[in-house]
Amino acid sequence: MDTAGRLDAVLGIAGRLAASHDRQELFRTIVDETNRALHSDATTIRILRDDRLEVAAWAGMSDEVAGRLPDFGKDEGWVGEVLRTGRVISWPDIRGVRDQGFERYDGVYEFVSSLIAPLIHRDRVIGALTTVTREPRAWTSGDVAFVSTLATHAAIAITNAELFEQTETRAAQLETLQAASARMSRAGTVAEVGRTVVEETRRMVDYHNARVYLLEPPDHVVPIAFEGTIGAYERVDMALLHTRVGEGFTGWVAQHGEPLLINDAKGDPRGRTIPGTDDVDESMLVVPLRYDGATIGVITLSKLGLNGFGPEDLRLLTILADQAATAVESARLLSRTQDLAQELRRLLDMSADLSASLDPRQVADLIASHMARAMGVDECAISYWDRPGGLIESLGYYPPSSFGELEPFFDVSRYPQTLRVLEHQEAVLIDAEDPDADPAEVALLRTDRQRMLAMLPLVAKGQSIGLVELFSASAITWSAELLELARTMANEAAMALENARLYEDARKLADRDPLTGFYNHRFLHERLGEEVVRTQRARRPLSVLMLDLDDFKLVNDTFGHLFGDRVLTWTAELIRSTLRGSDIPARYGGDEFAIILPETNEAEARTAAERILGAFREHAFQGEQRGPVPIGASIGVATYPADGRTATDLIAAADRALYQVKRDGGHDAAGAEGGAA
């Protein structure tokens, strides 16, 4: 081919090269056109990668032969000479040429003459174009000019293709980063953010193992996501990945907040082999999650072998880490917002339940139930502090079935930590496994088969009125947020409990006769109604006594009303001394008394009446500066259901029996049918 023909060929090839950004297509065009234009037997393109010239394309030989062609370092043999000089070099006959590396082709591909042109772009060597023949050949100046010109166009086209590929890759990476960011922003929990990181990173950086950690006080680095793809990396116990600030590569990055690109993890003294895994050649990429200037977590990638990651991988992972840090904090904020909403709901639910009752024990049970469920503990005790007596009174418990097993009172002086809670109004945590824990509290926990105890004061109007005890059979981490919720619930509960106790005290005053301390007329009817209903359900007996003092008007008229009041007080104490703990005495009015006798039949009621009459016969009222004054009484007896099925009927029947005794002379007792006791 003459000079003009070769110029046209070069221009045609250059046009084809400029029209494509596909590197493989460019390589194929270059070797094919060079082989055809120069009538060569074989042509190759070598591309410089990591100081090695690797065969990238070939023409005139089989793929099997091409696969066995030797690689050359950039300073080795004939290749090194071409790259050093930057000139086209030809060998008409390589036979007898030494120290150029041609002997490395022996047994692979035999050729005699060679023409080599460097691929140079902007003074940077990127590869070499080589064409050979099996017979000796005197390469002409036209051959040299052709291959030199073609090499120049080829270098430009290959560089442009690489730039285009990088642009496309970066565009794809940017798209991946955007998709990853969008996905992370939708994550509702930090665990979901961690899972997104390991999955989306795979689309940008090739790894064998990926881990995402978060920092937790005081110095814990806790894994939240893990992904393994090969061998021992596929499954690792998450507990084994747990580390601390300053330990291993992950701990180092957590401490210093700087990324690490580690080409040889085994050879770096900062490394630490994860328990249960082999000590192998490994490369790593470790970057911090930073938010508002602080390191909040770490992303760690591992890959078997050395030099597994590059600067571009580090750049991409750093960008992803910045987005992940923002997503983690957003997820935390969302979680905290949800927790606050849940806490508010718990408080509202508890307040609603507590407002529905004014019975202190029922209120205490409700408090225990709500707090146990909110705190995630096994049991909860609510107690009242009897400050003058130095006692703790059990009021409520969760689960309710365990309340009967409690001591009704205990001496708080035996438990200094409990006393500290009450006196200083501070929370105290006890762990039975802690060697420094209070021995008294630990002994109690172990007796009850509990591991942990949290104690908080019940504070109303600035005063400690009681105690909340939260028991757990397993270890619990009492975070500041959890304790704050417990305090808030305890404060709310304290007000409800104090209101219930004040109401109970007020009701006791309203239900009591101020002179005798007995229940009054109103309470008698209310309580007797309740006892009738209970009797009906349980099918148990119930009786009522109506008692009236004999000749009490004469006492008042003779000695005065103040003396009469003292007689009534004495009478109440005398009656009380004869009763059981379950009996309910009341002052019905004036000198008339009523006594409810639960689970008492007619015969037993008459025995109780006779016991009272006997006490009157055996004792006389001793007045001031006066001799003994004998006091007598008349008693009427009525029994459910024979004498009445309602409270009103029973009182009326007992009252009729009472006045029948009065008409018969008094100092006796009779049943509703009128028979003497």
| DSSP calls for 411-459 | EGGG-HHHHHHHHHT--EEEETT-TTS-HHHHHHHHHTT-SEEEEEEEE
Backbone torsions φ then ψ of 28, nearest 5 degrees: -65, -45
DSSP state of 140: -
For the entire predicted model, the pTM comes to 0.46
The pLDDT assigned to 173 comes to 63
Torsion over CA: 447, 449, 452, 457 (sign):
negative
The pLDDT assigned to 141 comes to 87
> Helix crossing, 552-559 with 561-578: angle to 10°?
140
- Same domain membership, residue 648 and residue 532: yes
Q: Tell me which of 335, 366, 394 is where a domain ends.
A: 335
Please report whether residue 347 resides in a domain: no
pLDDT bracket for residue 146 (50, 70, 90): confident
The pLDDT assigned to 274 comes to 64
**Whether residue 44 has pLDDT greater than 70:** yes
Instruction: Indicate the range of 159-173, 442-456, 465-479, 661-675 predicted with least confidence.
Output: 159-173
The pLDDT assigned to 10 comes to 66
The pLDDT assigned to 460 comes to 87
Distances (CA, A) of 121 to 12, 150, 256, 360, 451: 20, 13, 41, 91, 74
**Whether residue 119 has pLDDT greater than 50:** yes
As a whole number of angstroms, the longest Cα–Cα distance in the chain is 160
Instruction: Name the burial class of residue 435, with classes exposed (0-12), middle (13-18) and buried (19+) by CB atoms within 10 angstroms of its CB.
Output: exposed
**Whether residue 85 has pLDDT greater than 60:** yes
pLDDT tens-digit profile of 497-518? 888 777 777 666 667 888 888 9
What is residue 135's three-state secondary structure?
coil
pLDDT bracket for residue 2 (50, 70, 90): low
Report the percentage of the chain scoring pLDDT > 90.
Answer: 32
pLDDT tens-digit profile of 287-298? 999 988 899 999
**Whether residue 339 has pLDDT greater than 60:** yes
- Same domain membership, residue 324 and residue 299: yes
The pLDDT assigned to 637 comes to 95
- Same domain membership, residue 150 and residue 10: yes
- Same domain membership, residue 62 and residue 148: yes
Averaged over 101-130, what is the pLDDT? Answer: 87
The pLDDT assigned to 447 comes to 87
Please report whether residue 597 resides in a domain: yes
pLDDT bracket for residue 349 (50, 70, 90): confident
Q: What is the mean pLDDT of the chain?
A: 85
Distance CA 57, CA 45 (A): 5
Please report whether residue 527 resides in a domain: yes
Instruction: Indicate the range of 6-20, 145-159, 542-556 predicted with least confidence.
Output: 6-20
- Tally Cβ neighbours within 10 Å of residue 385: 23
Please report whether residue 171 resides in a domain: no
Q: Tell me which of 480, 503, 526 is where a domain ends.
A: 503
DSSP state of 398: E
Averaged over 385-401, what is the pLDDT? Answer: 87
**Whether residue 675 has pLDDT greater than 50:** no
- Same domain membership, residue 424 and residue 448: yes
Distance CA 591, CA 614 (A): 18
Instruction: Tell me the sheet residues that pair with 89.
Output: 116
Give 136 or 153, the one with higher predicted confidence: 136
Please report whether residue 179 resides in a domain: no
- Same domain membership, residue 135 and residue 28: yes
Q: Tell me which of 133, 166, 199 is where a domain ends.
A: 166
Rounded (to 5) percent helix, strand, coil in the chain = 45, 25, 30
Averaged over 123-127, what is the pLDDT? Answer: 83
Range of the domain at 604: 512-671
- Same domain membership, residue 479 and residue 401: yes
The pLDDT assigned to 528 comes to 92
- Same domain membership, residue 90 and residue 10: yes
Report the percentage of the chain scoring pLDDT > 70.
Answer: 89
Distance CA 177, CA 164 (A): 19
Instruction: Give the CATH number for residue 39.
Output: 3.30.450.40
- Same domain membership, residue 516 and residue 499: no
The pLDDT assigned to 676 comes to 41
pLDDT tens-digit profile of 199-226? 888 888 889 989 999 999 889 999 999 9
First to last CA, the chain: 150
Torsion over CA: 74, 77, 79, 84 (sign):
positive
Averaged over 296-307, what is the pLDDT? Answer: 92
pLDDT tens-digit profile of 579-630? 988 899 999 988 999 999 999 999 999 999 999 999 999 988 887 666 688 8
Give 79 or 396, the one with higher predicted confidence: 396
Instruction: Indicate the range of 1-5, 7-11, 372-376, 605-609 predicted with least confidence.
Output: 1-5
Instruction: Give the CATH number for residue 544.
Output: 3.30.70.270
- Same domain membership, residue 151 and residue 238: no
Count of structural domains within the chain? 4
Please report whether residue 321 resides in a domain: yes
Please report whether residue 345 resides in a domain: no
pLDDT bracket for residue 80 (50, 70, 90): confident
Contacts with 523 (C-beta within 8 Å, 6 or more apart), sequence order: 511, 512, 586
- Tally Cβ neighbours within 10 Å of residue 619: 14
pLDDT bracket for residue 425 (50, 70, 90): very high
- Same domain membership, residue 329 and residue 368: no
Please report whether residue 317 resides in a domain: yes
pLDDT bracket for residue 113 (50, 70, 90): very high
Averaged over 388-398, what is the pLDDT? Answer: 88
pLDDT tens-digit profile of 233-250? 566 667 778 899 999 999
- Same domain membership, residue 44 and residue 145: yes
pLDDT bracket for residue 1 (50, 70, 90): low
Helix (H) or strand (E) holding 393: strand 391-398
